[in-house]
Structure 1
Amino acid sequence: MGVVPGALDARGERLAGPIFTGVGLAGLAACAFWGSGLRGVTLVVAVAAAVWVPLLIPLFPHRRTHPWLAAGYYAGVLAAATVLVANDDSFMGFASFGYPLAFVLFPARWGFFAVAATATLPLLAANSDSRSPTWVLVLSMAGPLLYAAWFVGAESEQRRKANVRLEAALEENANLHAQLLTQAREAGVLDERQRMAREIHDTIAQGLTGIVTQLQAADGPDRDRRLAQVRVLARESLGEARRAVQALRPEPLAEAQLPEALSRLAARVAGTSGADVRAETTGDARPLLPDLEETLYRVAQEALANAEKHAKASRIALTLSYSDDLVLLDVVDDGVGFRDGDRGEGTGFGLEAMRQRVRRVAGTLAIESAPGGGTAVSAQVPAIPA
């Protein structure tokens, strides 16, 4: 049971009513025993007080929700004590029962008013001609002072402990905040590294690969066309490098809508690879959030590059499908494919980069392939409008 009124734990709430009732009845009985005798009005009021005091047991759990009942109960105790002291000042000890009772029934500020009333009314009603035992005078004078000192000291100690806990919590929060800042900084650095790695792989690396491929084939009869393709790829790679550093949108998306950009990408791959590359758009095409369009473009770019470089496909179909809630991109080729054991696991950085991009925009990516059966890449993202 907590020492500071109002701070009782669950066990204290159960025991406080019976304990204080026992203290009150014990004080009443002791005063009746040491007094000049119970008769007349004193007897009637003492019996009434003995009946009234136990009402604290059912009242105590509801003292906060029904403060007027608590005030009425305390007024009854104070009235009985005043009448008893007026007839026999030996009952000053029973009046002292009001001091601790005041602080358990009322909040602290109202408890002091109740204590003041308890200290004043019985003393004013006391019979000045009667001679009281010394212990009664000591109890009536020193009791309130001792209890007030105990209360203030206990409350001060509890506040000191609360301040210590608060300081410890603030220090712990500061440490956690520093850790979160460090983790956020590290996550930001890692995210930027991954972004740069994806951009370099999807732009500069693919462009350089295309340039090498075209230069290797430039000794044939279509030398001029191959060199023209080299110039185009070099310019595009340079532009993409600048945009990767500045975190801008891919150049094709900066100049055209996603369906048109994919058609141009398919035409360029068809020109460099010699494969039959067809691009088709179904549904109600509409602008999407830039991150979504960039993700779909990069997935198509990587899937077409894989079909050109690794799958050695002769036919590639690219389909962009718009629905109410989703946008789907399918890239299907008739290339050499790869083993079932590798399906969905990725054969290099390109496939993992695709997965990271799609996950970052809350989408899904599926890759299906079989040796000799070609490869199908399917990306699905939410259709969030720009």
Structure 2
Amino acid sequence: MRSQSSPQPPSQPARTVGSPSLPFPGGHPRTSDAVLAAALFACSFPGSVITFPGQDLGVPWWPGVMLAGASCAALIRRRDRPRGTVVVTLACAVAASALGYLLTVLLLAPLMAALYSLAVSTDRRTANTFAFAGIALLVGVGLPAGPAGEPLVLKLLGPAAWLLLPTALGTVTRLRAAYLDAVQARAEHAERTREEETRRRVTEERMRIARDLHDVVAHHLVLAGLQAGAVARHLPARPEEAARLTADLTGTTASALRELKSTVGLLRRAGTSDADEPRNPGERTRPVESTPGLAQLPQLAASFEGAGLEVTLHTEGEPGPITAGAELTAYRIVQEALTNVTKHAGARTAAIRLVYADDRLTVAVTDDGCARPKVPASVGGGYGLIGMRERARSAGGRVRTGHRPGGGFEVVTELPLRTRETNESHPA
């Protein structure tokens, strides 16, 4: 069956900090540019006849209007050809200054718009280079050819002020657009990181649930199967022994149900928010089975007697403080190791050895079996050793497994202990 993937949105063009998206208004760029050019061209008519009070215009008005028309026509390409637009508008402005026109904002408006577009779409050095080159040309041409009676200060400062203003505004606009693009990129990266973290946590939670269910169910089902087989063998000849094994089988299944209920209860408690709390007070206050730990190892060892496996428990060193997670890890690894002994090793005895060192707890499970599988390899799925290693890593420890030189198999687990300094600095 073919799965249909959801349609993906069209990819957006990449944005960089050095070349942000142009913040020009309007949904149709060429239309808005044409409207801007027409408006500036209309302003060129009064700009071509402005002069100082009491002085006559020494040049006809129509050449200024024609130069303004050429400048405004170049603005239509200001987005994709910003440098060429500045060159054309600057040439027209220099020509108007050489003819003797008074360079007011009305005649310089096309050049100002072109410089703004250049500053928005390019870097600061390029925009400043064109701006200062334009100032130098206009001042150099306007000093000898400007209208009579124009103050020297106006000839020097006028072009500088009118050209630097749009350049500065365009640079600020470009930097703001680059900042917004960077903020958006960081937000998208943070969103992707959150999604990846959520997926990682979901995967880890699924693995943890799989380990818990495997340890709880597999252990008790193996014991139940062995005890049921023993009942079938002893029922005709030894009814008393069969009755005892039947009682053990009942206890094994009851224990499996209790631990499974405890695991599900812990999962429900961990995944339930305050809004999802049950409304039934009795259901809310129902106790959850305590988490098994090192104190339950004697009962765990005794539970394998009905399966024909004699298990001994030995402790070396002074027991040190250990976290609840590491204690549960040690219990589950011992449980899985003994379950594997009953399934695969063909052993009659097994030993559990706890060794407390300065900062580590070593848990060793050994058997005297021949390591020949008693059941097909497909039974159990082969996840036991994998689950041991994953559990040990989650608690900051490690697991080593292998055959013993004298025969049998061993599972050695090293887990960290809490130091006294840690307990004193983090009191319960």
Looking at structure 2, the residues matched to 373 and 163 of structure 1 have their Cα atoms a distance apart, in angstroms, of 74
Q: Is it true that 1:376 corresponds to 2:410 in the alignment? A: yes
Tell me the CA shift for residue 330 of structure 1.
Answer: 0.7
For structure 2, list consecutive stretches of 5 or more residues without a partner in the other structure: 1-142, 270-286, 374-379, 424-428
Q: Is it true that 1:260 corresponds to 2:273 in the alignment? A: no
Aligned CA RMSD, in angstroms, stands at: 3.2
Matched residue, 1:216 = 229
Structure 1 residues 196, 347: CA separation in 2 closer, same or farther (over 3 Å shift)?
closer
Instruction: Indicate the structure with greater helix content.
Output: 1
* Aligned residue pairs, count: 246
Looking at structure 1, the residues matched to 367 and 333 of structure 2 have their Cα atoms a distance apart, in angstroms, of 14
TM-score by length of structure 1 reads 0.57
- Note if contact 1:275-1:316 (Cα within 8 Å) is conserved in structure 2: yes
Q: Is it true that 1:239 corresponds to 2:275 in the alignment? A: no
Structure 1 residues 354, 134: CA separation in 2 closer, same or farther (over 3 Å shift)?
same
Matched residue, 2:201 = 188
Show CA shifts across 1:164-197 (max 9, x none): 2222222222322332232223223222221221
Matched residue, 2:339 = 305
Matched residue, 1:39 = none
Among 228, 244, 262, the alignment partner of 2:247 is 228
- Note if contact 2:291-2:328 (Cα within 8 Å) is conserved in structure 1: no
Among 302, 314, 332, the alignment partner of 1:280 is 314
Tell me the CA shift for residue 331 of structure 1.
Answer: 0.7
Structure 1 residues 287, 243: CA separation in 2 closer, same or farther (over 3 Å shift)?
farther
- Note if contact 2:404-2:410 (Cα within 8 Å) is conserved in structure 1: no
- Note if contact 2:341-2:367 (Cα within 8 Å) is conserved in structure 1: yes
Looking at structure 2, the residues matched to 378 and 337 of structure 1 have their Cα atoms a distance apart, in angstroms, of 16
Matched residue, 2:277 = none
Tell me the CA shift for residue 338 of structure 1.
Answer: 6.7
Structure 1 residues 369, 138: CA separation in 2 closer, same or farther (over 3 Å shift)?
farther
Structure 1 residues 370, 331: CA separation in 2 closer, same or farther (over 3 Å shift)?
closer
- Percent pairwise identity: 28
Query: What letter corresponds to residue 246 of structure 2 in structure 1?
Result: L
- Note if contact 2:396-2:415 (Cα within 8 Å) is conserved in structure 1: yes
- The 3-state SS of whatever aligns with 2:295 is helix
Looking at structure 1, the residues matched to 151 and 357 of structure 2 have their Cα atoms a distance apart, in angstroms, of 90
Looking at structure 1, the residues matched to 151 and 356 of structure 2 have their Cα atoms a distance apart, in angstroms, of 92
For structure 1, list consecutive stretches of 5 or more residues without a partner in the other structure: 1-131, 340-345
Tell me the CA shift for residue 218 of structure 1.
Answer: 0.8
Structure 1 residues 374, 253: CA separation in 2 closer, same or farther (over 3 Å shift)?
farther
Q: Is it true that 1:366 corresponds to 2:400 in the alignment? A: yes
Looking at structure 2, the residues matched to 313 and 296 of structure 1 have their Cα atoms a distance apart, in angstroms, of 22
TM-score by length of structure 2 reads 0.52
348-357 or 367-376, larger mean C-alpha shift: 367-376
Looking at structure 1, the residues matched to 291 and 144 of structure 2 have their Cα atoms a distance apart, in angstroms, of 105
Among 140, 144, 159, the alignment partner of 2:172 is 159
